[in-house]
Chains A and B, each alone.
Chain A
Amino acid sequence: MTTTVIPPDSPPSPPPPPATEAKSATRPGDKIFRGLSRGSGILLLVVMASIAAFLTFRAVIAISGNEGNFLTTFEWNPAGKPPVFGIAVLLYGTVISSIIAMVIAVPIAVGIALFISHYAPRKLAAPLAYVVDLLAAVPSIIYGIWGALFLVPYLDGLNSWLDTYFGWTVIFAKTEIGAARNLFTVGILLAIMILPIITSVSREVFLQVPKMNEEAALALGATRWEVIRMSVLPFGRSGVISASMLGLGRALGETMAVATVLSPSFLLSGHLLDAGGGTFAQNIAAKFDEANEYGRDALIASGLVLFILTLLVNGAARLIIARRKEYSGANA
């Protein structure tokens, strides 16, 4: 179909000449259309490459003017003389809040996925799945104001409870009084936001478990839970892992929800319940307004780190998922 030039000696029989004639007369419409669709595919690759190139270029400008160490400085002052800024606190905050989100969201999401695929009444399964998908449709800024104006006051009680009974673990010790605008609250909010994507990808995997495996287990007298333990979970493990990584990618890059809830500071604190800390995206949103051109370059440099981070996480998730081509979760 795509052969335009045919070596004259390869087809031994006489019919080919007229056939090649008919084929080689490629219509201009075909050429144009093919070129267009190919071109837009290539355009996407170009966009990805130029995102990396432009961010790197501006980041190099920023880092070469930085008097502090970009990786270890606990400060963000690109407007100062000399300019000093570093991403240590941001990296810590981003990773910690995402970890909290994952710890909360993954088990619940797997539970919901199992509920929809194996427990819910047949007729209800589709509407219930839709309800979970609606969670994904809510814009992040609305999660943000809901988190800041509704969830934060609500979580004060939980925070003091954690402090009283789990304060000995150090991470749950609350050393200062104040609203729950901390990394822990951010983690909870992020968990709610990444639930739908983990759920929908896991659900698709669970629905693909070969019916034979489940029926064999049932025929041996297994209860429903044992069927899930023995046939569904082992089959779906890689799917759940990659679903979680897709969720992690979202959590790492979330901006508005974090920017509204967190009260930021450039202190590295092991106490999760103390207000403070920051994430890459939140820092960009918070510092952008007052930044001059060099300050913007500095923010772009931190954005580059975030870009690489999400690229690695998403790429890894996609590579795991690529083993089973049927589901991708990109529509979720």
Chain B
Amino acid sequence: MSQATMTQDTTPAPAPRTNTLAGKSLPRWSPIGFAAVSIALAVGLGTVAGWQSKMQWGLLAALFFVVLTYTAASAVEGKRQAKDRVATSVMWVCFILAVVPLASLLWTTVGRGIKVLDGYFLTHSMAGVPGFEAGGGVYHALIGTVEQVGLATLFAAPIGLLTAVYLVEYGRGTLAKAVTFFVDVMTGIPSIVAGLFLLSIMLMFKLQPSGFMGALALAILMVPVVVRSTEEMLKLVPNELREASLALGVPKWRTILKVVLPTAIGGITTGVMLAIARIAGETAPIMLLVFGTQLINSNPFDGAQSSLPFYIWEQYRVGSDASYDRAWAAALVLIAFVMILNLVARGIARWKAPKTGR
């Protein structure tokens, strides 16, 4: 090949050369064309056969698309290219398969939740409202969620941060290894097990259910997430900054507090916010430890409280149309809270990211 290019570099070769080197290939619009044809075929067949489910139409269209692509490509381009094209379309299908449930879930939640969601719903509790009738609201649950999540953050954020500092700045040897390993394992603890742990403490010391106990369980779930994200962020802080500070005679603890943490503060905030978003949706520990109530209880240290996810579960269990509506509306509030937290957190991460090579 190199020989050919070397000998023919003066002649007007480009046009014939591209023809000989590149094999025959399908035109660039072919995937779109195949897609249009297969969708048309599927819709046609679907209506003729009278299938109700749109899912079957979609599956049929996907099948047609793969078969069409494979036959056309293997006829024109050869077996290997045909396989490549099929693999490409399978990847696309996988991705669409993941997006469909997400879209459907968001669509359903917004569509059904918007019905009862208004100012009244947000500012009233369920006191005196029979579960199967319309009316009532989530105010008591909102208070519960805010207090429990706030308390949990109060415990988990400092502990998680300090642990991450230990792992990155001080940790050597077996203790650090053990902590790293168990932090990883802790991320996998099911929320209900964390709830059972505090329940067994409650049984042991004859404690009453309260928002505080729920907050402790949430903190257990939150700490490992905070540790991991903070750790990653601290590792991104350039060593030169630490060295410069230490060389000026600044004590190590001040170096960490004044140089290392401020540099990574954006990422740390993101991590904490993502962790909050995660625990705000936990139901199981609340069910075991906070019990739930219809009334407004703004004292997390005494008596049962409610929380948004628990409220959804409660209303779902009532099983009437009115309670389903309330469940969806509460779900919409919860999902909006979590999504906004997510978006803001990732925004901060982008905006404040330490500059790295990648």
Contacts and interface: CB of A to CB of B under 8 A. Distances in A.
A38 interface: yes
B199 A300 contact: yes
Nearest to B168: A37
A67 interface: no
B268 interface: no
B192 A40 contact: no
A32 to B, nearest CB: 7
Interface stretch (B30-38, B62-70, B158-166): B158-166
B190 A137 contact: no
A293 B193 contact: no
A255 B284 contact: yes
A253 B186 CA distance: 13
Contact of A318 (B176, B184, B328): B184
A144 to B, nearest CB: 7
B200 A54 contact: yes
Interface stretch (A44-52, A166-174, A263-271): A44-52
A54 B190 contact: no
B24 to A, nearest CB: 15
B283 interface: yes
Interface footprint category on B: 35 or more
Nearest to B232: A331
A186 interface: no
B102 A328 contact: no
Interface stretch (A72-80, A83-91, A280-288): A280-288
Interface string B88-102: 101111110111011
A286 to B, nearest CB: 10
Contact of B108 (A27, A51, A150): A150
B92 A145 contact: no
Interface string B238-276: 000000000000011110110000000000000100100
A192 interface: yes
Contact of A139 (B87, B97, B194, B309): B309
Interface in B56-97: 80-81, 83-84, 87-88, 90-95, 97
A157 B51 CA distance: 11
Given A27-B251, A131-B102, A142 B335 contact: yes
Interface in A1-36: 27, 29-30, 32-34, 36
B162 to A, nearest CB: 4
Contacts of B6: none
Contacts of A48: 182, 185-186
Contacts of B165: 37
Nearest to A105: B98
A43 B232 CA distance: 21
Contacts of A253: 188-193
Contact of B179 (A44, A149, A246): A44
Given A223-B84, A306-B193, A331-B228, A41 B98 contact: no
Interface stretch (B7-15, B126-134, B219-227, B297-305): B219-227
B229 interface: yes
B92 A119 contact: yes
Contacts of A44: 159, 163, 179, 182-183, 186, 223-224, 227
A17 B90 CA distance: 70
Contacts of A144: 313, 316
Nearest to A288: B288
Interface of B: 52-53, 55, 80-81, 83-84, 87-88, 90-95, 97-99, 101-102, 104-105, 108-109, 158-160, 162-163, 165-167, 169-171, 175-176, 178-179, 181-194, 196-197, 199-201, 203-204, 220, 223-225, 227-229, 232, 251-254, 256-257, 271, 274, 277-278, 280-284, 287-288, 309, 312-313, 316, 324, 327-328, 331, 334-335, 338-339, 342, 346
Interface of A: 27, 29-30, 32-34, 36-45, 47-48, 50-51, 54-55, 57-58, 107-108, 111-112, 114-116, 119-120, 128, 130-132, 134-135, 137-146, 148-150, 154, 157, 192, 195, 199, 223-226, 228, 246, 249-250, 252-256, 259-260, 281, 284-285, 288, 293, 296-297, 299-300, 303, 306-307, 310-311, 313-315, 317-318, 322, 328, 330-331
Given A253-B191, A303-B192, A330-B184, 7 more contacts: A37-B169, A112-B95, A146-B108, A255-B190, A284-B196, A303-B196, A307-B193
22 contacts: A33-B257, A42-B175, A44-B183, A54-B201, A54-B204, A55-B197, A58-B204, A112-B94, A128-B95, A131-B102, A139-B309, A139-B334, A142-B109, A150-B104, A192-B101, A223-B80, A223-B84, A228-B87, A253-B189, A253-B192, A317-B188, A322-B181
